[in-house]
Amino acid sequence: MPELHPLRPFLPPTAKVLMLGSFPPPMKRWKMPFYYPNFQNDMWRIMGIVFYDDPLHFIDVEKKTFKQDEIIDFLTVKGIAIYDSAVEIERGNNDASDANLQVIERINLPEILAQIPDCKTIITTGGKSAEIVADILGIKTPMVGEYAETEFAGRNIRLYRMPSSSRAYPMKIEVKARAYEVLKGIVG
């Protein structure tokens, strides 16, 4: 059964970076109504390590959830926009695995970029997202931890492919965080 993206794009007007995953997990796995809501996903732990040297910075340990308001404030101040590369999908196994996603409709990247005019960097947070965005940009998909550059929608764009923040991706969180350190050089 087709699913439409359940969240609106998070687009702070001064965003310098657009971070794109593939698609949210099923809602039964959500701990908050925002991006990377699955408590088993390490995105907010990675961001805590990169920016605060603390994997629990954005985690409410007692409630086993995320500090959504702090995450939104952080992203707004740093100028990091978030959305996903797929806006309509079908799940093969009713799970969060990218391997089981059939993408029906992709992001309208020019429309999103038009809303964040200072953005010249796109960071994909996994393989499927990297493949979709590279295809839209008309470039070869970068290897994990690398980037490619192109001109798109009237601006020079640098596309980074980061390791997936999913625990299913076989890489230690500290190694993933080192890859995401590139964000500090872009947004401070």
Domain locations along the chain: 3-187
The first and second tokens of residue 146, run together, are 């690398």
**Are 28 and 91 a contacting pair, CB within 8 Å?**
no
Place 97 in a pLDDT band, splitting at 50, 70 and 90.
low
Q: Which amino acid is at 55?
A: P
**Are 85 and 128 a contacting pair, CB within 8 Å?**
yes
Could you give the 3-state DSSP secondary structure of residue 61?
coil
Q: Where are the alpha helices (DSSP H) in 12-126?
A: 43-52, 68-78, 109-114
Task: Please give the backbone phi and psi of residue 44, each rounded to the nearest 5 degrees, phi first.
Answer: -75, -25
What's the mean per-residue pLDDT of the chain?
Answer: 94
Rounded mean pLDDT of 155-181? 95
Place 153 in a pLDDT band, splitting at 50, 70 and 90.
very high
CA-wise closest residue to 124 among 113, 133, 115: 133
How far is residue 88's CA from residue 103's CA, in Å, rounded to a whole number? 6
Fold designation for 3-187? Uracil-DNA Glycosylase, subunit E (3.40.470)
Task: Please give the backbone phi and psi of residue 101, each rounded to the nearest 5 degrees, phi first.
Answer: -90, 130
How far is residue 43's CA from residue 125's CA, in Å, rounded to a whole number? 9
Q: Give the pLDDT confidence of 53-78 residue by residue, as tens digits.
A: 999 999 999 999 999 999 999 999 99
pLDDT at 66: 98
